[in-house]
Each structure stands twice: as C-alpha cells, then as structure tokens.
Amino acid sequence: MSKTALDQTLTIDTVPAIPVSTVRDYFTLLKPGVMTLVVFTGAVGLLIAPGHIHPFLALVAIACIAVASGAAASINMWYDRDIDQHMKRTMNRPIPAGRVPADEALSLGILLSIVSVTVMAVAINLAAAALLAVSIGFYVFVYTMWLKRRTPQNIVIGGAAGAFPPMIGWAAVTGGIDLNSMALFMIIFMWTPPHFWALALFRCGDYAKVGVPMMPVVAGDLATKKQMLFYTILLLPVTLVPYFTGLLGLFYAATAAMTGLWFLRHAWRVLRNAEEKAPQKMFGYSILYLFVLFGAMVADIWLEGFIT
Ligand code: HEM
Ligand SMILES: CC(C)=CCC/C(C)=C/CC/C(C)=C/COP(=O)(O)OP(=O)(O)O
C-alpha cells in the first residue's frame, strides 16, 4: 500500500466516532423497563374498576399513562445528568454518553407531559388527567428535584409517584377516587421501599460516590435491611384490603398471601445475610411479585365472571 493510501486509511480509521443519536436513544430516555410495570399496574386499575369504558378509550388512557411515565423519566434523566455520568449503572445513558443533547431530553419530556395530560383530559376525564399531572409532578419535582439529593426518605415520599398509575386507570373508568383505588395506591407505596432499597444495597457505592443520601449510604446496611423488613410486613395486610372490601375474591387473596409471604422470606434472608446475592434476588423478585399480584387481580375478576 502506498504511503498516501496508508495515510488515508489511518486518517479514516482514527477519526473519532461522533456519537449519533438514534431512535433507540430517545426511547431509552423514557425508561421503558419501568414503564412496562407502570403500564401494567395502570391497566389493571382500569380493568378491575367497576363500570364500563369503551375499549378504544381504555387504550387511549393506558397510552397516556405510558407516555406520561416516559415524559417524567426523560426530565429525570435531564436533571440527573451530572450524577448519572459518574455512576457505573447510569454512565452509559444517552445524555452522559453524549448521544442525546440534554436540552432535547428536557424538551421531549415537557412535550410528552403536555400531550399526555391534555389527551387524558379531553378524551377521558379530568380526574384521571389531574392524577396523571400529579404523578408527573411528584416524580419530577418532589422526588427528583427536591428529595432525592436531600434525604434518605426520598423514595418513601417520592415513591408515591409510581403508586398513582392504578389509581389513574381506575379514575379513567369511574371518574373519581375511592377506598379500593386508594388501596391499590397503598400497595405500590409500601412495595417501593423494599423494591428500591434492595437495589440500593448492592449499588450503595455508586450513590455514595455522587453524594446521593440513599438509605444504605446514610444509615448503613443493617438499618436499611430492618426497614425493608418493616415495609414488607406492612405490605402483606395492605395487599389484602381489596379482598376485605369485597372487590376481589379468594383467588386473589390466596395469591397475595403466598407471594407476600415469599417476599417476606426474601426480606428475612436479606436481613440475616443468608447469601451474598440475597439483595439482588430480592430486587428481581420485587418486580415479578408486583406483576403477579396485579395479574392476580384481573384473573380473580375473570374467574368470578366465569364461575358465577
Ligand atoms: C421512587 C421509587 C422507585 C425507585 C427509586 C426505583 C428505582 C429503580 C432503579 C434504580 C432501577 C434500575 C435498576 C437497574 O438499572 O439495574 C429500577 C428498576 C425497575 N423498577 Fe423501580 N424504582 C421505583 C419505583 C418503581 C415503580 C413504582 C415501578 C413500577 C410499578 C418500578 C418498576 C421497575 C422495573 C420494572 C424495573 C426493572 C426494569 C429496568 O431495570 O429498567 N419501580 N427501579
Ligand atoms: C405516570 C407516571 C408519571 C409514572 C412514573 C412514576 C414512576 C414510575 C416513578 C418511579 C420512580 C422511579 C422509577 C425512580 C427511579 O429512581 P431514579 O430516577 O432515582 O433512578 P435512576 O437512578 O435509575 O435514574
């Protein structure tokens, strides 16, 4: 190869690759993994609520919940870009990796927030739209901007954001809030601390590095594990409320009891340091648990219709 040709090859090969944003990067900004469970719990709220909604409107309401969840996540990624670039788990996200400009993530989040709340208000009802706006506001302002970097109780209070979706689905059908929809809210509210602290236990170093006062960083592992057990114990009776109010039947109650006891076993094993990967296993189980619990709600209603 001539020197000129070799130079050209070297020049072409050594030009640093300019990161190009792809549709996938923008989709990643919406935290699609979390969105799956948000959408699922929202859809369950809608499916088990008393009353009727046209299937097309049901799909519109669920789409609004999905879009709002993604919108809030995109604004969260914009705000947290300074700490995300230093944490192992988050450093390859589209903004810290330089694949998406930060202001575009913010614009996308604001645009999707406005679209989702407006469509919910116009096509569904004002109660569902108001709850949707509150959940976005809770995630963005209360959790991300106010509490996350200030207190180890950040996820207990801020976690309420993720507890709204079933209430929103319920309100889409009924136009309001009642004891049962509040019970659905409380289930996710109580579930969030063990869900998140299980992860925080094995990602503690990341949070300490960037100065985010997650519970294990501030109070230590033992205190965190005790609090996880506390919330997991409280969660069990809360999951049985829809059975005692008569909304759901025995199939649901039995599933809630069994899966809840298994969650408790995880919390106990984490507390006792039963194995090195106990927190990782509890985190994984927390996600499966919520899917199964909410799935059992729908199955219970279908079974009841089938039997009677
Ligand atoms: C303040 C409340 C919450 C916090 C701080 C939190 C935190 C987290 C974090 C940091 C991860 C990422 C794990 C990783 O990257 O390896 C995660 C994963 C996940 N979370 Fe949560 N979470 C919260 C509430 C919720 C809620 C309410 C839901 C849905 C109902 C949820 C569903 C999920 C799912 C499905 C995953 C696994 C998918 C994924 O990793 O993308 N989370 N959570
Ligand atoms: C309808 C609607 C608006 C729903 C969205 C609400 C929702 C799912 C909130 C959950 C909060 C959440 C996933 C926090 C992740 O923590 P983090 O942001 O600190 O996690 P990170 O370190 O991975 O960024």
Minimal-distance CA residue to ligand 1 atom 9: 196
- 110 CA from centroid of ligand 1 (Å): 21
- 168 CA from centroid of ligand 1 (Å): 19
pLDDT band of 9, cuts 50, 70, 90: very low
Measured over the CA atoms of residue 219, residue 220, residue 222 and residue 226, the dihedral's sign is: positive
Tell me the pLDDT tens digit for each residue of 244-293.
Answer: 999 999 999 999 999 999 999 999 999 999 999 999 999 999 999 999 99
From 35, 38, 134, 145, the mutation candidate for ligand 2 (largest count of ligand atoms within 8 A of CB) is 38
From 30, 69, 77, 184, the mutation candidate for ligand 2 (largest count of ligand atoms within 8 A of CB) is 69
Tell me the pLDDT tens digit for each residue of 192-227.
Answer: 999 999 999 999 999 999 999 999 999 999 999 999
Domain spans of the chain, in order of start: 22-176, 178-308
- 48 CA from centroid of ligand 1 (Å): 24
Q: Which ligand is nearest to the CA of 184?
A: 1
- 40 CA from centroid of ligand 2 (Å): 15
Q: Which ligand is nearest to the CA of 75?
A: 2
pLDDT at 159: 85
pLDDT at 11: 46
Q: Which ligand is nearest to the CA of 185?
A: 1
Instruction: Report pTM.
Output: 0.92
Minimal-distance CA residue to ligand 2 atom 10: 162
Does the interface ipTM go beyond 0.90?
Answer: yes
Tell me the pLDDT tens digit for each residue of 62-72.
Answer: 999 999 999 99
Minimal-distance CA residue to ligand 2 atom 7: 162
- 139 CA from centroid of ligand 2 (Å): 6
Does the structure show a pLDDT above 80 at 182?
yes
Minimal-distance CA residue to ligand 1 atom 2: 159
Minimal-distance CA residue to ligand 2 atom 5: 69
Ligand 1 atom at minimum distance from 139 CA? 1
CATH superfamily of 22-176: UbiA prenyltransferase (1.10.357.140)
pLDDT at 176: 97
- Which residues, at least 6 apart from 289, have a Cβ–Cβ distance to it below 8 Å? 191, 259, 260, 262, 263
Tell me the pLDDT tens digit for each residue of 94-106.
Answer: 999 999 999 999 9
Tell me the pLDDT tens digit for each residue of 108-152.
Answer: 999 999 999 999 999 999 999 999 999 999 999 999 999 999 999
- Which residues, at least 6 apart from 68, have a Cβ–Cβ distance to it below 8 Å? 112, 113, 116, 117, 120, 132, 135, 136
